């Protein structure tokens, strides 16, 4: 057997060529305007940094409990109770600290899916979602959400089969920035509950929700305000600018959280200890000035590109998913290659979708770079 023959079907089924190509093209540029970055461009708040440093100095460097540092878990429980109203004291619900939001996603899919089982995700999707299929030998069914990118119950329902175990919703969404309404999320929760399907809500961008898209209670809309029979996944990386610390959490039915903890025990073991120590401090940090700044950037994108093309208004996250004007008669891949030739890095839609009609533009770039990049893109569109 050659080395290639030894590899599993699992890895052969995962294709990273799209993203790799975009990065390889970008790497050749000397001083590019980079609008492809999927992580925030602000520094971790000083008190949060200090809490991590203190944790290391105070010898909090060993394993934590598998399900998380008790102090952090307690802060998370309180936070969830306040934010979505779940009764975290009842014993029916529990939480687990994970190695990034990605860790929570993988553990939940592993805990729920057998070979041949199905999970429904939106198209366009966050790239990890499709890879979770081969990783768990499950089938991923794509819910086409073009042209408005809303994963509604009406669009999901025809995709459900007797093998469907998971519907995974992501709002605010990567790569589109779309925020679903409270009603849309309630309907999804009701559909899943009525069919005995686990709704998983990836709310990693919850902090980045623009004011006009908040729900009546002033929060990022969440199905968790309508059901506790679901899994809520959130993260610290994007919210506090510490993506490399690998920290997220999941909350939901205790029967599921305990199985995720079992899998975590034998895989990730626990989330990084110093990051967990710092996260309690993070939960008390006011990030509103940063959110306002990202919101203003999102408005810059709308002002610049919406007169030129079809651009469903982002309600949050820090992305826009922009249609290459059809009259240009070119694929998004070709459009993005031309943008890269003009020193602007954006990612073609086919990396996140079966379609190749749009590109993802990230607002995690300073205002001056963003303005220059938008000018180049607008010029190409004209
Ligand atoms: N979900 C979505 C929608 C994301 O965009 C990302 C990161 N790009 C993740 C999950 C993974 O985040 P983490 O770094 O916390 O694993």
Cα 126 to averaged position of ligand 1 atoms, centre (Å): 8
| Average confidence (pLDDT) over 179-202 | 98
208 pLDDT exceeds 90? yes
Strand partners, 202: 170, 233
Domains annotated on the chain, with CATH: 3-44+287-381 (3.90.1150.10), 46-282 (3.40.640.10)
Q: Which atom of ligand 1 is nearest to the CA of 99?
A: 16
Both tokens of 39, joined, read: 């992580």
| Average confidence (pLDDT) over 257-284 | 96
20 pLDDT exceeds 80? no
Q: Which atom of ligand 1 is nearest to the CA of 101?
A: 15
CB contact at 8 A, 248 and 98: yes
| d(C-alpha 234, C-alpha 153), whole Å | 22
Q: Which atom of ligand 1 is nearest to the CA of 173?
A: 3
Mutational pocket test of ligand 1: of 99, 101, 176, the residue with most ligand atoms within 8 Å of the beta carbon: 101
Cα 204 to averaged position of ligand 1 atoms, centre (Å): 6
What confidence score (pLDDT) does residue 338 get? Answer: 95
Q: Which of 67, 139, 77, 154 is nearest to 103 (CA)?
A: 67
Q: Quote the DSSP letter at residue 270.
A: S
Q: Quote the DSSP letter at residue 284.
A: T
| d(C-alpha 132, C-alpha 212), whole Å | 33
Mutational pocket test of ligand 1: of 177, 179, 204, 243, the residue with most ligand atoms within 8 Å of the beta carbon: 204
Ligand 1: lining residues by beta carbon, under 6 Å: 38, 100-102, 126, 170, 174, 202, 204, 235, 237, 243, 248
Q: Which atom of ligand 1 is nearest to the CA of 39?
A: 8
Q: Which atom of ligand 1 is nearest to the CA of 247?
A: 15
Cα 102 to averaged position of ligand 1 atoms, centre (Å): 6
Question: Sorting pLDDT into bands at 50, 70 and 90, what band is 127?
Answer: very high
207 pLDDT exceeds 80? yes
What confidence score (pLDDT) does residue 249 get? Answer: 98
Cα 238 to averaged position of ligand 1 atoms, centre (Å): 8
Cα 248 to averaged position of ligand 1 atoms, centre (Å): 9
Q: Whose CA is nearest to atom 12 of ligand 1?
A: 101
Condensed to tens digits (0 to 9), the pLDDT of residues 98-114 reads: 999 999 999 999 999 99
Cα 129 to averaged position of ligand 1 atoms, centre (Å): 10
Q: Which of 98, 99, 81, 82 is nearest to 90 (CA)?
A: 81
Mutational pocket test of ligand 1: of 237, 314, 317, the residue with most ligand atoms within 8 Å of the beta carbon: 237
User: Over the chain, what is the mean pLDDT?
Assistant: 95
Strand partners, 320: 361
Cα 175 to averaged position of ligand 1 atoms, centre (Å): 11
What confidence score (pLDDT) does residue 24 get? Answer: 79
Q: Which atom of ligand 1 is nearest to the CA of 243?
A: 14
What confidence score (pLDDT) does residue 170 get? Answer: 98
Q: Which atom of ligand 1 is nearest to the CA of 170?
A: 3
What confidence score (pLDDT) does residue 69 get? Answer: 97
CB contact at 8 A, 116 and 138: yes
Q: Classify 10 in phi/psi space as left (phi over 0), alpha (psi -120 to 50) or beta.
A: alpha
Condensed to tens digits (0 to 9), the pLDDT of residues 72-90 reads: 999 999 999 999 999 999 9
CB atoms near residue 36 (< 10 Å): 24
Beta-carbon contacts of 227 under 8 Å, excluding residues fewer than 6 positions away, are: 189, 190, 192, 193, 199
What confidence score (pLDDT) does residue 27 get? Answer: 79
| d(C-alpha 34, C-alpha 340), whole Å | 9
Cα 90 to averaged position of ligand 1 atoms, centre (Å): 29
322 pLDDT exceeds 80? yes
What confidence score (pLDDT) does residue 21 get? Answer: 76
Q: Which atom of ligand 1 is nearest to the CA of 248?
A: 15
Mutational pocket test of ligand 1: of 96, 235, 316, the residue with most ligand atoms within 8 Å of the beta carbon: 235
Measure the N-to-C terminal CA separation of the chain; round to a whole number of Å: 55
| d(C-alpha 47, C-alpha 344), whole Å | 35
CB contact at 8 A, 130 and 140: yes
| d(C-alpha 213, C-alpha 210), whole Å | 6
Q: Which of 218, 295, 307, 249 is nearest to 78 (CA)?
A: 249
| Average confidence (pLDDT) over 44-61 | 96
| Average confidence (pLDDT) over 146-172 | 98
Mutational pocket test of ligand 1: of 126, 170, 208, the residue with most ligand atoms within 8 Å of the beta carbon: 126
Rounded to two decimals, the pTM is 0.97
| d(C-alpha 243, C-alpha 262), whole Å | 25
Of the listed ranges 17-21, 93-97, 350-354, the one predicted with least confidence: 17-21
| Average confidence (pLDDT) over 201-206 | 98
| Average confidence (pLDDT) over 325-351 | 95
314 pLDDT exceeds 80? yes
What confidence score (pLDDT) does residue 38 get? Answer: 85
Cα 101 to averaged position of ligand 1 atoms, centre (Å): 6
Please report where in the chains the tokens 């770079």 appear, as a residue. Answer: 369
Both tokens of 95, joined, read: 């939480």
23 pLDDT exceeds 90? no
| d(C-alpha 323, C-alpha 356), whole Å | 9
């Amino acid at each position: 057997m050659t080395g290639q023959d030894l590899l599993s079907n699992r890895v052969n089924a995962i294709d990273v060529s799209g993203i790799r190509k975009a990065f390889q093209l970008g790497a050749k540029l000397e001083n590019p305007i980079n609008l492809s970055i999927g992580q925030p461009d602000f520094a971790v708040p000083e008190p949060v940094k200090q809490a991590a440093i203190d944790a290391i100095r105070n010898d909090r460097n060993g394993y934590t409990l598998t399900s998380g540092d008790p102090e952090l878990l307690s802060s998370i429980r309180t936070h969830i109770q306040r934010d979505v109203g779940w009764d975290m004291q009842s014993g029916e619900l529990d939480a687990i600290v994970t190695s990034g939001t990605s860790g929570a996603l993988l553990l939940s899919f592993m805990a729920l899916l057998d070979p041949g089982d199905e999970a429904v995700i939106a198209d366009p999707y966050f790239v990890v979602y499709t890879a979770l299929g081969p990783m768990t030998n499950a089938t991923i069914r794509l819910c086409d959400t073009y042209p408005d990118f809303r994963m509604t119950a009406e669009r999901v329902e025809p995709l459900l089969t007797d093998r469907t175990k998971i519907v995974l919703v992501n709002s605010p969404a990567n790569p589109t920035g779309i925020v679903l309404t409270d009603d849309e999320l309630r309907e999804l929760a009701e559909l899943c509950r009525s069919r005995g399907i686990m709704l998983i809500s990836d709310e990693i961008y919850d902090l980045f929700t623009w004011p006009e898209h908040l729900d009546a209670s002033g929060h990022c809309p969440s199905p968790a305000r309508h059901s506790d029979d679901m899994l809520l996944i959130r993260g610290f990386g994007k919210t506090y600018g510490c993506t490399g610390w690998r920290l997220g959490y999941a909350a939901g039915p205790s029967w599921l959280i305990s199985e995720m903890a079992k899998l975590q025990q034998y895989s990730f073991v626990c989330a990084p200890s110093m990051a967990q120590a710092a996260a309690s401090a993070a939960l008390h940090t006011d990030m509103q000035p940063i959110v306002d700044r990202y919101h203003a950037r999102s408005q810059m994108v709308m002002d610049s590109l919406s007169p030129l093309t079809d651009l469903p208004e982002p309600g949050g996250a820090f992305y826009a998913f922009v249609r290459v004007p059809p009259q240009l008669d070119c694929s998004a891949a070709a459009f993005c290659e031309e943008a890269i030739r003009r020193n602007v890095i954006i990612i073609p839609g086919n990396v996140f979708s079966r379609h190749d009609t749009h590109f993802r533009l990230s607002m995690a770039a300073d205002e001056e770079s963003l303005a220059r990049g938008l000018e180049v893109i607008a010029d190409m569109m004209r």
